[in-house]
Amino acid sequence: MNVASAAPLYRGADWDFQLLQRIHDACEGIALSELGLNVYPNQIEVITAEQMLDAYSSVGMPLFYKHWSFGKHFAHHEAFYRKGLMGLAYEIVINSSPCISYLMEENTATMQTLVIAHAAFGHNHFFKNNYLFKQWTDAEGILDYLNFAKSYIAQCEEHHGQLAVERTLDAAHALMSHGVFRYPGKKALDLRAEEKRERERRSHKERSFNDLWRTVPSGPGKTATELSVDRRRSLLGLPQENILYFLEKSAPRLQSWQRELLRIVRHIAQYFYPQGLTKVMNEGTATYVHYRIMNRLHQQERISDGNFLEFLQSHTNVVFQPGFDDQRFSGFNPYALGFAMMQDIERIVTKPDDEDHEWFPDIAGNGDVMGVLRDVWANYRDESFISQFLSPRLMRHMRMFHLHDNPADSEGIRVQAIHDERGYRRVRRELARQYDVGLIEPNIEVVDVDLAGDRRLLLRHQVVNGSLLNEADAKRVLQHLADLWSYDVLLKEVDATDTVLKEHAVSPRKIAAAA
């Protein structure tokens, strides 16, 4: 093998800014020419542990509006951290262009190399190329948009009082997970245009405000009979699963600034939406990339054996997957699963056996590891990735098995399938389903509203596998929803045969109606 030998990048554990630059350049050379990655420009920021905690509590973003729940998360993390129950992440990386990676000052030189390879190239490539991120996020605009959101919300607090803003944000946060579009069809997000639009909306209103018009009597409205149910529903865009969007557009008594707040929360939810769908792939990609780069650097003798051992130790910790009966078990470790699958793909592409030829006829033995992986990284999400690429060999290696727990079954939990010939496809299908967003989040839609009548909002929860909503939480979320809608809200939980299993009815609180 042609090993281009070069002087070691560093010795020992200390680093300085020139070294970070040299490390970045060394990683970049390997990432671009050997792995063929395509990345946003990088920006590397060195921060302290306290700043890392700060960043944690505002979902990793460098600038964020003020809200008590971030303070709560900060306190929570801090308490854990102080007690030593939790280490800090080595890095946080932001899906933006330039792609910003935060590095902690406490890291050793080897850790910084690992983190740069991991975040600045692995995650960065994934953000830039995966179809979900392309479809739903706007890396160029996000930081400007957050800046706008922050100052807009601060202005609102000045104009309308912190309490009113907090109330609206609380409600919006409660519905945040139901504030995303899941299926394409809408235009891709353009956050810069968003900000401009808001400014124009406002200045238009300021220009065209004329108090006279308020006194003009409005004409006779259409009666309910004139609007057939179907027409009404299509006018309102119903059924609508994006509840925040629906409220922003149709809630009758919201003020325009409240609509804008809902819009902001919705955009942020949408921006983070792909990250939830690609946890395994995203971490797997970054881990695979750092592993390749670090090995190559070691081969080139730019990292000493000792430092390489230090790297291997961190790497092993990251991809450690305890078994289900281990004290430390807390579900599948996305780093471990993603990395293992990608290494497995590398094996299938380069050294396939008969089983692989049978299971993966398209890629087995085709020899182009990076070509296949780049294609996978670009075109899949966790669910489809697992259902396509989890191999029998890996299932055997990780000793996966499928448990089925039906509360009605008094005997206990049944082992439905294990890692054997009969079980491979079932285990793989079930594991993929665990990452299916349609099954993670309850499926709730706005189905109807009687605008001319009592304006009651009707929602529907499609119950899957007989699992109803947690009642206490549902009531509280619906309370927020009713406050925004300012009329009654009714949520029906129905099963596949349209039988209503449960109903939750909530009326708005007085104080919200007055706001």
Partner 1 sequence: MHIVDRRLNPGSKSLENRQRFLRRAKALVQRAVKDTSQNRSIKDVLEGGEVSIPLDGTSEPRFRRSAGTRDHVLPGNKKFIEGDVLPRSGESGGRPKEAGEGDSEDAFRFVLTREEFLDLFLDDLELPDLAKRKLAEAEHEGIRRAGYSIAGSPANLSVSRTVKLATARRIALRRPRPETIEELEAELAACDDEERRIALQAQIATLKSKIKRIPFIDPIDIRYRRFETVPKPVAQAVMFCLMDVSGSMSEHMKDLAKRFYMLLYVFLTRRYKHVEIVFIRHTDRAEEVDEETFFRGPASGGTLVSSALQAMHEIVRTRFRPADWNIYAAQSSDGDNSYSDGDVTGRILTELLLPVTQYFAYLEVSESGGPMDMPDSALWTLYQRLSNEGAPLSMRKVSDRSEIFPVFRDLFQKRGKQERATP
C-alpha distances in Å from residue 188, one per residue of 87, 139, 191, 310, 349: 37, 12, 9, 43, 34
CB of 360 to partner 1, least distance (A): 20
The residue (of 117 and 369) whose beta carbon lies closer to partner 1 is 117
The β-bridge partners of 91 are 103
Which strand (E) or helix (H) includes residue 135? Answer: helix 131-136
The residue (of 339 and 349) whose beta carbon lies closer to partner 1 is 339
Burial class (CB in 10 A: 0-12, 13-18, 19+), 131: middle
Amino acid identity for residue 302 in this structure? R
- Tell me how far apart the alpha carbons of residues 429 and 434 are, in angstroms, rounded to a whole number: 9
CB of 500 to partner 1, least distance (A): 16
CB of 24 to partner 1, least distance (A): 5
- Would you state the torsion angle of the CA atoms of residues 247, 263, 272, 433, taken in this order, to the nearest 10 degrees? 20
Evaluate whether 493 touches 469 at the Cβ level (below 8 Å): yes
The residue (of 165 and 251) whose beta carbon lies closer to partner 1 is 165
Contacts of 272 (CB under 8 A, 6+ apart): 59
The residue (of 232 and 433) whose beta carbon lies closer to partner 1 is 433
- Tell me how far apart the alpha carbons of residues 251 and 480 are, in angstroms, rounded to a whole number: 13
CB of 199 to partner 1, least distance (A): 26
CB of 284 to partner 1, least distance (A): 15
Q: For residue 264, give the 3-state DSSP assignment.
A: helix
The residue (of 353 and 471) whose beta carbon lies closer to partner 1 is 471
CB of 28 to partner 1, least distance (A): 8
- Residue length, the chain? 515
CB of 152 to partner 1, least distance (A): 17
- Tell me how far apart the alpha carbons of residues 199 and 264 are, in angstroms, rounded to a whole number: 14
CB of 464 to partner 1, least distance (A): 8
Burial class (CB in 10 A: 0-12, 13-18, 19+), 126: buried
The residue (of 272 and 401) whose beta carbon lies closer to partner 1 is 401
The residue (of 80 and 371) whose beta carbon lies closer to partner 1 is 80
Contacts of 325 (CB under 8 A, 6+ apart): none
The residue (of 299 and 343) whose beta carbon lies closer to partner 1 is 343
- Tell me how far apart the alpha carbons of residues 378 and 132 are, in angstroms, rounded to a whole number: 9
